[in-house]
Amino acid sequence: MTSPVRPPARILLVDDHALVRRGVRLILDAEPDLEVVAEAGDGAEAVAAARRDDGLDLAVLDIAMPRMTGLQAARELARLRPGLRVLMLTMYDNEEYFFEALRAGANGYVPKSVADRDLVEACRAALRDEPFIYPGAETALIRSYLDRVRSGAGLPERPVTEREEEILKLVAEGHTSREIGDLLFISPKTVERHRANILQKLGLRDRLELTRYAIRAGLIEP
C-alpha cells in the first residue's frame, strides 16, 4: 500500500482527554506508515508543538477543547505551517462545524463515531491531500452542502461570526446581558442585538435552546 522505503508520517495528536489520546495513539501507531510523534492537551499546546517541530506532516485535532478550540488552533496552525495537513476530530457530526472546519483550513473531518479503520484511512487521505468523506455522513453533510451550493451563492455561509460565537458561549453559560457587556466592555444593548442575531441565524427561540445547542456543539460543558 505504502512504499516501505518511505518513513512514516509524523503526526501531532491533540485532544484534551489523555485517555482518548492514548487510544488514538494505539490505533495510529499500529500502522507502519503512521507515527504519533507529539501530543497536546489543548490548542495552545498544539501551536507550541508545531512551532517547535517543523517536520510534522499531519495534525489530528479535537474540536471541543478548553481555552483554544480545535477550530481556532487549526487557523493558527494553517498560518504557522502552511504545509501541515489538519484532520478535525469531533464528537458531533454537525454541519455547521463541518463547514467551519473546512474554512479553518482542515483537510478532513472525522466524527469520533467512526471505526478505527476509517480514522486511519482519513489520515492517509489527508496526507495525500484528498478529502475524506466518512461513511454515513455522505448523506447528511454532502447533500446539504450540495443543496446550499445549488440554491445559494455557492459558498457555505458561516453560521455565526467570531464575535457572535463569543457572546453565544457567554449567553449559554447563563450570564445576563449586563454581565456580558461589562465583561466585553460593550453596551448590554449590543449584547442583546448579537443575541437576537444568533437566535435568528440558528433558528432558536430563546436562551434555553441556545444553551442546549451550545452543549450539543461542544462549545460549553453542561
Near DNA in 134-173, by CB under 7 A = 158, 161-164, 171
E-only strand ranges, 64-209: 85-90, 108-111
C-alpha cell belonging to residue 187 = 453596551
Q: Is 202 in the site for DNA (CB under 7 A)?
A: no
77 forms bridges with which residues in the sheet? none
E strands, the chain, are 9-14, 34-40, 58-62, 85-90, 108-111
Sole window of 27-35, 54-62, 113-121, 174-182 interacting with DNA (rule: CB under 7 A): 174-182
x-or-dash string of contact with its own copies, 20-49, rule CB under 8 A = x-xxx-xx----------------------
The one among 17, 51, 128, 178 contacting its own copies by CB under 8 A: 17
- The least CB distance from residue 196 to DNA, in Å, is 4
Residue 19 falls in which region: left (phi positive, over 0), alpha (psi -120 to 50) or beta: alpha
By beta-carbon proximity to DNA, the closer residue of 3 and 200 is 200
Residue 164 interacts with which of its own copies, DNA, none, CB < 5 to 8 Å by class: DNA
Question: Which of 53, 79, 152, 187 touches DNA (CB under 7 A)?
Answer: 187
Closest CA to 72 of 57, 82, 84, 61: 61
Of 196, 189, 188, 198, which Cα lies nearest the Cα of 166? 198
Residue 83: CA count within 13 A, CB half-sphere: 7
User: Which residues, numbered 100-129, are part of the site for its own copies (CB under 8 A)?
Assistant: 111-116, 119
Applying CB under 8 A, among 72, 94, 107, 177 the residue interacting with its own copies is 94
Picked from DNA, its own copies, none, the partner binding residue 40 (CB below 5 to 8 A depending on kind) is: none
Quick one: which segment of 27-35, 81-89, 120-128, 204-212 binds DNA (CB under 7 A)?
Answer: 204-212
How many angstroms separate the Cα of 1 from the Cα of each of 29, 32, 47, 110, 140?
Answer: 16, 10, 31, 22, 31
Q: Give contact residues for DNA (rule: CB under 7 A).
A: 158, 161-164, 171, 176-178, 181, 184, 186-190, 192-196, 199-200, 205-208, 210
